[in-house]
Amino acid sequence: MIGDEYFQLRDRLSGELHTLAEVIRDLGGDTESIAIAENLIASLKEPFVFVVVGEVNVGKSTFLNALFGQDFSKTGVMPTTDKILFFKHGPVLQIVPVTPTLDEVHVPIDILRDFHIVDTPGTNSIADEHQEITERFVPIADLVIFVFSAMNPWGASAWQFLDKVHKHWMRHVVFVLQQCDLRSPEEIQVITDYMGQLSRQRYGQDFPLFPVSAKKAYIAKNSDGNQESLMEESGFQQLEDHISSLVERNASRMNKLSSTVRLARQLLTNLREHVLQQTQQTQRTSTLTQEFLTEREMQVDRTLKKILPALDATERDYHEACAHVAGLADDVLATRQAFKKDPALEMEETKPESLDHRLFQDLQHRSGDRWRQVGIILEEDCLQYDRFLHSQGRGTLFPEDVVLPTEADPELRRLFSAHIDSTIRRFVLGLKLDEAIEPGLNKARKRARWVPWLILPVLGAVGAAWYYDGPIGAAISAGGGMLLLGFALLIAQSALNKTRGLMVDRLENSTLKLREMLQTQVESDVESLFSRFLPMLEPAQKECREREHLLLSQTERLQALTDAFLIYQRELSQWR
């Protein structure tokens, strides 16, 4: 294909520019940079413009078929008209009138993506349009091909048309001597020599001149056999090599590629600086977020240390409350309680208040104010950390004009107090003091029931002894009866004493459990309190990690693009 090396370089460069534009978008680049990258891509797609000039029946159509290896006439590309035809690529075949003398022809042929062709019906039939061609198309043309017939290369209209071409644009002109297969080599040599002489006389310069047989070249490109021989005979290879050289060495196109590479490298430089700034900002944010997380953990520890004295004091309060409840238990487990009726039969209003409830009330009374003060400490520490976050996080986690919080969550203190009360209540209810003394008290009552039953037998024994043995016998019998009654009372009292001992042991052994439960609840509440900041910090930290990973990958892509554009710059400098 014509200009393969140029188009391969252009396509590679275009691919890198697409990558550059994608990176700019991925990094949230400014619209100006994106627009520049897209404009650079679009500018590379600008096709070459070939203007084909010649008289009627000199073989222009056959020449174009051979040049691009396609029979344009079979696609309807070469309509019979006396208008100027400007061929462009399009999705469907379409003829668009532009002026009374010019039609744009859109054709779905790939070659027209890279080459636009301006075809004139014949210089000897459109004399009135010569001015439009020379003023409108020759200045933008990369190549102006004058096609002459080897049978009659002296047609005046073609030479007259060339007279109208400004000398500046003559550097783009080449001569093609078509239908050379109809002449002998000697005749062709004479014709080319004379055409060169005429060019020097009229224009003071030689134009590249290529004798060709477009018919043979077309057959060679579209046949399976004898291609090389036909192509050599056609003389077309020299013409194509010359056109490829013009395409690949086209100064304006090479300058465009060079300027594209320079602009792309400048974009890359700006983008790398932008990425570096973003990376540094992301690293600062990541470091700051980690500091916030570390400070949160340290604040949790500091707050817990502040609360430690409250745990120690509550432990002392519990010992005092236990002593008070133990005193109450002495009354509950007094000997007289063994002779009372079953508590289940007592009226509700006469039942004594439970030991569990008394212990809870006593402990709550002793430590309630202290834990409410701890709630205030939590509230203050939370507010202090919140203000620290907003103050140090300006411009990163928060806007620059963020207002520092002045009040903590009003529910915080209430919820903490409720949790502490609930923990103490669960602990006290878990002791089950009333249930613990109930078995011993019932056992004592059962034993005490034997005392009334023993009194009558003892009195009977005393009376019998008096009757039979006199006072001395009665006294002995009474002493034995008293011992028996005392023993029964002792058995009942021992059950009460054992129960009291078990209850006291339970109270003493439960101190550690109370501390553990309170400490667990406090740690949970403090951690939960400061965990409310995690939904702000952890996503920010995760976003920073993802951002750092993205920026690292984009930095690698930018480095690869930088290396690629440097290679392009070197290649272009060698082409010049």
In this structure, the number of other CB atoms found within 10 A of the CB of residue 327 comes to: 9
- Across 42-56, 343-357, 421-435, the highest mean pLDDT is recorded for 42-56
- The single-letter code of the amino acid at 193 is D
Q: Locate tokens 């994106």: which residue? A: 34
Residue 336 has pLDDT above 50, yes or no: no
Q: Which pairs with CB-CB distance under 8 Å and at least 24 residues apart come from 131-139? A: 131/164, 132/84, 132/99, 132/101, 132/102, 133/51, 133/53, 133/84, 133/161, 134/161, 134/164, 134/165, 134/166, 137/49, 137/51, 137/84, 137/86, 138/51, 138/165, 138/166, 138/169, 138/172, 139/166, 139/169
Domain identity same for 220 and 320 = no
**Nearest partner of 408 among 377, 431, 439, 429, judged by Cα:** 377
Can you give the pLDDT at residue 365?
86
- Region 545-555: what's the mean pLDDT? 87
243 has a pLDDT exceeding 80: yes
Judge whether 512 lies within some domain. Answer: yes
Co-location of 198 and 275 in the same domain: no
Strands 102-107 and 115-119: unpaired
Residues 339 and 240 in one domain: no
317 — pLDDT class (breaks 50, 70, 90) = confident
CATH number for the domain that contains residue 66: 3.40.50.300
DSSP state of 485: H
Region 488-514: mean pLDDT is 64
Are residues 195 and 286 both part of a single domain?
A: no
- Looking at the fold, whether 182 and 287 belong to one and the same domain comes out as no
Looking at residue 27, what DSSP letter applies? T
Tokens 């340290």 belong to residue? 298
Q: Are residues 95 and 139 in the same domain?
A: yes
Residue 236 lies in a domain: yes
pLDDT for residue 301: 94
Tokens of 320: 């005092």
Residue 493: pLDDT over 80: no
- CA dist 394 and 262 (Å) reads 39
Do strands 84-89 and 115-119 pair parallel, antiparallel, or not at all (unpaired)? antiparallel
Which is higher by pLDDT, 333 or 71?
71
Domain that holds residue 294: 270-557
* Bridge partners, residue 174, by sequence: 145
The answer to whether residue 455 sits within a structural domain is yes
Tell me the average pLDDT of the chain.
79
pTM: 0.61
Asked if 386 and 518 sit in the same domain, the reply is yes
Number of domains in the chain: 2
Q: pLDDT digits over 290-301, tens only?
A: 898 899 999 999
- What pLDDT sits at residue 142? 86
What are the tens digits of pLDDT across the range 244-283? 888 887 777 888 888 999 999 998 998 888 888 888 888 8
Distance, first Cα to last Cα, the chain: 21
- Residue 69 is assigned to a structural domain of this protein: yes
In a domain, 370, yes or no: yes
279 and 232 belong to one structural domain = no
- Concatenating the DSSP letter of every residue in 161-187 gives HHHHS-GGGGGGEEEEEE-GGGS-HHH
DSSP 3-state of 313: helix
354 assigned to some structural domain: yes
Q: Tell me which DSSP letter residue 398 carries.
A: B
How many C-beta neighbours within 10 Å does residue 269 have? 12
Q: Are 239 and 307 members of one domain?
A: no
Residue 330 CB-half CA count within 13 A: 5
Which of 184, 216, 249 delimits the end of a domain? 249
CA pair distance 269, 555, nearest whole angstrom:
11
pLDDT digits (tens, 9 = 90+) for 449-459: 545 555 556 56
Q: Which residue in the block uniquely carries the two structure tokens 């006389």?
A: 201
Question: Residue 573, by phi and psi: left (phi above 0), alpha (psi -120 to 50) or beta?
Answer: alpha
**370 or 496: which leads in pLDDT:** 370
102 DSSP β-pair partners: 84, 99
Q: Let me know if residue 310 belongs to a domain.
A: yes
Rounded Cα distance between 189 and 541, Å, is 81
pLDDT band, very low/low/confident/very high, at 347 (cuts 50, 70, 90): very low
**Do 121 and 56 contact (CB within 8 A), yes or no?**
yes
Task: Verify that 208 and 302 share a domain, yes or no.
Answer: no
Ramachandran region of residue 69, left (φ > 0), alpha (ψ -120 to 50) or beta?
left
DSSP secondary structure string for all residues of 84-99:
EEEEEE-SS-EEEEEE
- Judge if 532 and 442 occupy the same domain: yes
Find all residues with CB under 8 Å of 36, minimum gap 6, and list them: 263, 267
Res 339 pLDDT > 80: no
| 85 and 200 belong to one structural domain | yes
446 has a pLDDT exceeding 70: no
Give pLDDT, residue 435.
Answer: 61
pLDDT band at 194 (very low <50, low <70, confident <90, very high): very high
Where is the domain boundary, 249, 283, 306? 249
30 within some domain: no
In the prediction, which pLDDT does 145 show? 92
